[in-house]
C-alpha cells in the first residue's frame, strides 16, 4: 500500500469520529430541548398522573330541620371502598376485592365496566362497615388500586315515621351518567319524597384533592404542593313539619294498621304532619338502595313505598257530605230549615238505598243530617242538585285536582263528570241515580286524605283555602342567605259567610252534641269541629275516616285520619285525629300541659 494513502487514513479517522460524535451530541441536545423545554409541561403532567390521583370530595347534602329546628335529615360520616380500574382491573385483584366485600365477582365487574366507560373510579361499597374496612386495610399491601375514602351518608333521627315524607336516596344509574350529568359513579340522588323534590337544592357541588399513589395504585397521602378544592355544601331546608307531632301521629295509627294522617295549619297551608303507614326506615336506604332491599320493599303486599296521604285515593265516605251540603246551599236547592224524613232507607228507581242507621233518623234538617251523618237526607240532596252541578262544585272545592303540595307523584283523585260517565260507560248506559251514591262520598268518587284535610280546613278557615307546602325556606350554609320557598297561596271559595257559618256550626255538633257521631273523641277545654266517615270497600272491611279542626271558631290545625279497612270512622279514625289535634293545641298553648302522675 502507498505510504501516503495509509497516513491519510490515519489522519481522517479521528476527525470523522469527532464529527459523528458532535452530530450525536447536537441531536441529543435538540431532543432534550424538545422534551424538557418545549414538551416539559406535558411530560410533567404525564409523570404526575402516574403518581397523583384526583380524589373526589363529596359535597355535604343539605340538612332538613323541622319548624322548631329539630334535625329531620342530616349527613353522617361513612367509609367508601373504591377501585381505580387503571390499576386494579385484573381478574385476580377483582376476585380478591369482591370476596373481601362480600359481593359477587360479576357485580364487581359490572360496576368496574361502568366506571371504565365513564373514565371514573369505581365505587364498590358506598357505606362499608368497620369489619369490611378492616379486611381491606389488612390486605392493603397486596391489593392494587383499592382504597378507603371518607364520605357522607344520610341519617334520619325519626326513622320510619318520616320515611314516606323525606323519601329515599339511591346511587345514580348508568343511564343518568350521561356526558352532561353533574353526577359521577357512586353519587347518591333523591328518588322520592323531599329528597327528590328538592334534589337540586340539597345536592351541593363536589370538591377535589390530589393524592400520591405508588406503582400499584396504593394511596400514600395528599400531594403537599397541591391544595385541595373544598366542596360546596348543599342548602339546608326548614320544613313546616313538627317532628314531635309527626312521630305522635305515626304512633297513634299503630303498627298493626295501614293508614294515613295529615295535619295542616289552615291559616297558611303549612303541613304540620304527613304520615303514611306502613312505611320504611330511610336510614336503611340512606347508603343507596341495594337490589335486594328494593325488591323486598317493592313486593311487599302492604305497599310501604306508597305515600298514602297523597298517592292513594279512596272513597271519602261521609266526610264528603260537607262538600255536598256546601254545593246544595250555594245552588239554593236546599234551605237549612228544610226537613226530610229518614226511615232507614230511600227508595229510588225501584232500589232501596239504605242509611247506616237502619231504624232511621226521623225528621232531619241540614244540621242534624251532618251531626248524625244521615245518608237518606244526602241521597235526596244529591238528586236535587244533580250530577253536573255537584261535579262542578266538587272541582271548585279541590276534588279531582292535585293540591299542588311540594311532593312528587301526587294523585288528583276523581270526581266524575257527565263526560266521564259517557266515556267510561257509554252514553245512555248510566243512570241519574249515580249521584245518589256520589252525594255521600261513595261510588266512583275518590279523594286523598290531603284533599279532605285541605277542603275541610278551608271551611274552618272561613272559606279561604291554601295550597299545602312543606319546605318553607332554604339556607345557604356558607353565606347564611335564606330564600323563602313557601309563600302562602290562598283562594277564597265562592261560598257565602252564612253557608260557612252553618257548616261550621254543624261540624261542631259532630263532637259536641249528644248524638254527634264523634262525641267520644271530643277534646275537653276546646270545641272541635269535624266529620266522621265510613266508606264501603269492595275489597274488604269498610275504611274509616275522620277530619276535624280546632278551635272550632278560629282553627289553628286541621287533621285528617284514615285507616284502611278500619271499620267505623268514629271509633277508629276519630281518636287518631283527635289525639293529633289535642297535642298541637297543647304545643301552641291553647290547652294546658297534661299532668302526668305516678301510678
The model's pLDDT over 159-171, given as tens digits with 9 standing for 90+, comes to 999 999 999 888 8
CATH of the domain at 477: 3.40.710.10
Q: Is residue 343 part of a domain?
A: yes
Residue ending a domain, among 217, 239, 261, is: 239
Residue 153 has a pLDDT of: 85
Q: What is the pLDDT of residues 246-265, one digit of tens each?
A: 999 999 999 989 999 999 99
What's the pLDDT score for residue 391? Answer: 97
Do the domain assignments include residue 165? yes
Residue 259 sits in the same domain as residue 371: yes
Does residue 46 lie within any of the structural domains?
no
Cβ neighbours of residue 385 under 8 Å, at least 6 residues apart?
324, 327, 328, 331, 333, 393, 435, 439
Where residue 331 falls among pLDDT bands split at 50, 70, 90? very high
What is the count of structural domains for the chain?
3
On whether both 182 and 289 belong to a single domain, the answer is: no
Question: 492-522, pLDDT tens digit by residue?
Answer: 999 999 999 999 999 999 999 999 999 999 9
pLDDT of residue 36: 65
Q: How far apart are the first and last CA of the chain?
A: 133
Question: Per-residue confidence at 184, pLDDT binned at 50, 70, 90?
Answer: confident
Highest mean pLDDT among 2-11, 46-55, 127-136, 203-212: 127-136
Burial readout 372-404 (b: 16 or more C-beta within 10 A, e: otherwise): bbbbbbbbbbbbbbebebbbbbbebbbbbebbe
Cell of 220: 400514600
Co-location of 293 and 230 in the same domain: no
- Whole-angstrom Cα distance, residue 593 to residue 499? 35
User: 300 and 183 share a domain?
Assistant: no
Q: 91-101 vs 130-138: helix axis angle to the nearest 10?
A: 150
For residues 417 and 392, give the distance between their C-alpha atoms in angstroms, rounded to a whole number: 8
Write out the three cell numbers for 102: 362480600
pLDDT above 70: percentage of residues in the chain:
91
Sign for the CA dihedral angle at 69, 70, 75, 76 comes to: positive
- Nearest CA-CA partner of 61 in 149, 144, 153: 153
138 and 252 belong to one structural domain: no
Whether residues 287 and 197 share a domain: the answer is no
Give domain status of residue 598, yes or no. Answer: no
The stretches of 33-84 forming alpha helices (DSSP H) are: 40-51
Same domain flag for 472 and 539: yes
Claim to verify: residue 271 and residue 209 sit in the same structural domain: no
Burial 200-216 (b: 16+ CB within 10 A, else e): ebbbbebbebbbbbeee
DSSP symbol at 360: -
The pLDDT of residue 2: 52
Shared domain for 462 and 361, answered yes or no, is: yes
> If you average pLDDT over residues 273-278, what whole number do you get?
97
Distance CA 110, CA 116 (A): 10
Domain boundary among 188, 204, 239: 239
Q: What is the CATH number of the domain that holds 66?
A: 3.90.1310.10
| Residues contacting residue 138 through CB under 8 Å, at least 6 positions apart | none
Residues 319 and 418 in one domain: yes
- pLDDT tens-digit map of 35-76: 566 655 554 554 454 567 777 778 899 999 999 999 999 998
pLDDT value at residue 217: 65
pLDDT (mean) for 547-554: 97
Between CA 199 and CA 6 the distance in angstroms is: 91
Q: Is residue 274 part of a domain?
A: yes
pLDDT at residue 287, rounded to an integer: 57
Q: Torsion-angle region of residue 227: left (phi > 0), alpha (psi -120 to 50) or beta? A: beta
Query: 448 and 403, same structural domain?
Result: yes
Query: Does residue 345 have a pLDDT over 90?
Result: yes
Q: What is the pLDDT of residues 531-545, one digit of tens each?
A: 999 998 888 899 999
Q: Is residue 45 part of a domain?
A: no
- For residue 440, being part of any structural domain is answered with yes
Instruction: Indicate the pLDDT class of residue 598, thresholds 50, 70 and 90.
Output: very low
What is the model's pTM?
0.85
Last residue within a domain, chosen from 191, 207, 239: 239
Residue 478 reports pLDDT greater than 70: yes
b/e burial code for range 69-107 (CB count within 10 A of at least 16 → b): ebebbbbeebbbbbbbbebbbeeebbebbbebbeeeeee
Q: Is residue 337 part of a domain?
A: yes
145/218 same-domain check = yes
What's the domain range around 551?
Answer: 243-587
| For range 365-390, the mean pLDDT | 97
- Averaged over 375-380, what is the pLDDT? 97
CB 154 within 8 A of CB 282: yes
Q: Which three cell numbers stand for residue 61?
A: 347534602
Apex 439 CA angle, 433 and 440, nearest 5: 115
| 3-state SS, residue 337 | coil
CA atoms within 13 A on the CB side of 590: 19
Amino acid at each position: 500500500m502507498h505510504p501516503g494513502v495509509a497516513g491519510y487514513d490515519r489522519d481522517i479517522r479521528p476527525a470523522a469520529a469527532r464529527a459523528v460524535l458532535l452530530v450525536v451530541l447536537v441531536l441529543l441536545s435538540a431532543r432534550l430541548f424538545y422534551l424538557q423545554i418545549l414538551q416539559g409541561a406535558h411530560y410533567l403532567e404525564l409523570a404526575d398522573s402516574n403518581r397523583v390521583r384526583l380524589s373526589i370530595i363529596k359535597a355535604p347534602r343539605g340538612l332538613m330541620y323541622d319548624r322548631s329546628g329539630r334535625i329531620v335529615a342530616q349527613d353522617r360520616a361513612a367509609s367508601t371502598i373504591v377501585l381505580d380500574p387503571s390499576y386494579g382491573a385484573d381478574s385476580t385483584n377483582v376476585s380478591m376485592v369482591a370476596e373481601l366485600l362480600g359481593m359477587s365477582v360479576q357485580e364487581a365487574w359490572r360496576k368496574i365496566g361502568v366506571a371504565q366507560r365513564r373514565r371514573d373510579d369505581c365505587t364498590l361499597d358506598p357505606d362499608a362497615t368497620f369489619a369490611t374496612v378492616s379486611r381491606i386495610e389488612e390486605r392493603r399491601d397486596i391489593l392494587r388500586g383499592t382504597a378507603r375514602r371518607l364520605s357522607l351518608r344520610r341519617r334520619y333521627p325519626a326513622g320510619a315515621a318520616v320515611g314516606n315524607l323525606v323519601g329515599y336516596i339511591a346511587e345514580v344509574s348508568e343511564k343518568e351518567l350521561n356526558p352532561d350529568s353533574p353526577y359521577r359513579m357512586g353519587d347518591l340522588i333523591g328518588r322520592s319524597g323531599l329528597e327528590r323534590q328538592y334534589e337540586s337544592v340539597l345536592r351541593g357541588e363536589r370538591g377535589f384533592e390530589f393524592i400520591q399513589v405508588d406503582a400499584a395504585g396504593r394511596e400514600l397521602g395528599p400531594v403537599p404542593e397541591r391544595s385541595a378544592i373544598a366542596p360546596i355544601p348543599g342548602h339546608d331546608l326548614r320544613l313546616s313539619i313538627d317532628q314531635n307531632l309527626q312521630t305522635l301521629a305515626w304512633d297513634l295509627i299503630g303498627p298493626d294498621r295501614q293508614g294515613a294522617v295529615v295535619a295542616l295549619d289552615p291559616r297558611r297551608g303549612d303541613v304540620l304532619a304527613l304520615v303514611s303507614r306502613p312505611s320504611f326506615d330511610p336510614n336503611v336506604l340512606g347508603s343507596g338502595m341495594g337490589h335486594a332491599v328494593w325488591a323486598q320493599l317493592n313486593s311487599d303486599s302492604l305497599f310501604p313505598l306508597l305515600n298514602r296521604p297523597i298517592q292513594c285515593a279512596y272513597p271519602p265516605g261521609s266526610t264528603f257530605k260537607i262538600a255536598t251540603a256546601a254545593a246544595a246551599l250555594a245552588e239554593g236547592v236546599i234551605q237549612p230549615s228544610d226537613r226530610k224524613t229518614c226511615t232507614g232507607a230511600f227508595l229510588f228507581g225501584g232500589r232501596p238505598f239504605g242509611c247506616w242507621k237502619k231504624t232511621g233518623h226521623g225528621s232531619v234538617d241540614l244540621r242534624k243530617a251532618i251531626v248524625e251523618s244521615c245518608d237518606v237526607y244526602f241521597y235526596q240532596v244529591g238528586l236535587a242538585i244533580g250530577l253536573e252541578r255537584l261535579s262542578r262544585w266538587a272541582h271548585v272545592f279541590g276534588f279531582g285536582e292535585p293540591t299542588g303540595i311540594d311532593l312528587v307523584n301526587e294523585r288528583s283523585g276523581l270526581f266524575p263528570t257527565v263526560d266521564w260517565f259517557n266515556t267510561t260507560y257509554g252514553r245512555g248506559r248510566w243512570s241519574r241515580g249515580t249521584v245518589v251514591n256520589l252525594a255521600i262520598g261513595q261510588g266512583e268518587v275518590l279523594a286523598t286524605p290531603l284533599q279532605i284535610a285541605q277542603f275541610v280546613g278551608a271551611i274552618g278557615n272561613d272559606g279561604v283555602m291554601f295550597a299545602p307546602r312543606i319546605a318553607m325556606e332554604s339556607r345557604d350554609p356558607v353565606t347564611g342567605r335564606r330564600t323563602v320557598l313557601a309563600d302562602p297561596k290562598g283562594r277564597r271559595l265562592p261560598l257565602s259567610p252564612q253557608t260557612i257559618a252553618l257548616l261550621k256550626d254543624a261540624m261542631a255538633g259532630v263532637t259536641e252534641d249528644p248524638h254527634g257521631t264523634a262525641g267520644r273523641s271530643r277534646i275537653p277545654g276546646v270545641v272541635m269541629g269535624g266529620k266522621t266517615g265510613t266508606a264501603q270497600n269492595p275489597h274488604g272491611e269498610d275504611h274509616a275516616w275522620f277530619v276535624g279542626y280546632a278551635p272550632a271558631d278560629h282553627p289553628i290545625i286541621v287533621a285528617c285520619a284514615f285507616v284502611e279497612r278500619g271499620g267505623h270512622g268514629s271509633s277508629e279514625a276519630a281518636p287518631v285525629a283527635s289525639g293529633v289535634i289535642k297535642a298541637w293545641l297543647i304545643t301552641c298553648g291553647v290547652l294546658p300541659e297534661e299532668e302526668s302522675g305516678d301510678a
